[in-house]
Chain A
Amino acid sequence: SQKIEQNSEALNIQEGKTATLTCNYTNYSPAYLQWYRQDPGRGPVFLLLIRENEKEKRKERLKVTFDTTLKQSLFHITASQPADSATYLCALGARWGGYNKLIFGAGTRLAVHP
């Protein structure tokens, strides 16, 4: 069956350290992968997109890697801050007919402590 897995346990890290979140998938051939941030009671907000032919993408303190052989994406936040505390969702652009539908993982909650 098709699955997208993110760590269900919260990730607790110290301010200033690098946070690394994992997204694994099975039985998908995604055209791209996206990462979103979601704060409590709010809708997700887009952070980064990486395509199947790209290995790495960066945006300010954020870095995403995409390994289609391992079927895994890693999401890194360097020099983390308490304001980075949120739930982070990965989403696959899964081919459906002539379109791509966005399939989400359950998310990983990140808590950055001062």
Chain B
Amino acid sequence: DVKVTQSSRYLVKRTGEKVFLECVQDMDHENMFWYRQDPGLGLRLIYFSYDVKMKEKGDIPEGYSVSREKKERFSLILESASTNQTSMYLCASSPGGGRGTEAFFGQGTRLTVV
């Protein structure tokens, strides 16, 4: 069974903290994505990666960075957490080739910044 696993379901962090969200996939997928989901706004793409050590900015990269040192792991980093980063964060992976294969999502991490 294919799996995308996010390290935490719920996180509470303080303003100014450095926050790491981890995502691991076991499908040998080339592509990995980080989205955030807010009511009424849908899923917004933060960063994506098409290969190890490769990263590209999505639509809302400000305040975030990513790391992909191994193919199966894609980490999202909030350098200095702020309250407007309180959200549901979703990681996804998909096979490479760019031909539109489905994306597999993790269960999500609900982050609250206080």
Give the chain A neighbours of B12 by CB distance below 8 A. Answer: none
The size of the chain A interface, using a CB distance under 8 A, is: 27
Q: Select A101's contact among B45, B101, B102, B108, beta carbons within 8 Å.
A: B45
Question: Cβ of A51 and Cβ of B108 under 8 Å apart?
Answer: no
In the bound complex, CA of A41 to CA of B88 (Å): 9
Q: Select B42's contact among A51, A93, A100, A105, beta carbons within 8 Å.
A: A105
B 72-114 binary contact with A (CB < 8 Å = 1; else 0): 0000000000000000001010100011111111111000000
A104 at the interface (CB under 8 A from B): yes
Give the chain A neighbours of B106 by CB distance below 8 A. Answer: 43
Which single residue of chain A is at the shortest CB-CB distance from B107? A43
Give the chain A neighbours of B45 by CB distance below 8 A. Answer: 101-103
Within 8 A of B (CB), among A95-114: 96, 98-107
Give the chain B neighbours of A79 by CB distance below 8 A. Answer: none
In the bound complex, CA of A91 to CA of B43 (Å): 9
B61 at the interface (CB under 8 A from A): no
Question: Cβ of B107 and Cβ of A106 under 8 Å apart?
Answer: no
In the bound complex, CA of A39 to CA of B48 (Å): 24
Give the chain B neighbours of A41 by CB distance below 8 A. Answer: 108
Question: Cβ of A100 and Cβ of B98 under 8 Å apart?
Answer: yes
A49 at the interface (CB under 8 A from B): yes
CB distance from B10 to the nearest CB of A (A): 10
Question: Cβ of B100 and Cβ of A34 under 8 Å apart?
Answer: yes
Which single residue of chain B is at the shortest CB-CB distance from A46? B102
Give the chain B neighbours of A105 by CB distance below 8 A. Answer: 42
A89 at the interface (CB under 8 A from B): yes
Question: Cβ of A51 and Cβ of B58 under 8 Å apart?
Answer: no
Question: Which 10 residue pairs across A and B have the least CB separation, nearest first?
Answer: A43-B105, A106-B42, A46-B102, A32-B100, A104-B43, A99-B98, A93-B100, A104-B42, A100-B98, A44-B105
16 contacts between A and B (CB under 8 A): A32-B100, A34-B100, A42-B107, A42-B108, A43-B4, A43-B92, A43-B106, A49-B100, A49-B102, A89-B42, A89-B43, A99-B50, A101-B48, A103-B59, A106-B41, A106-B42
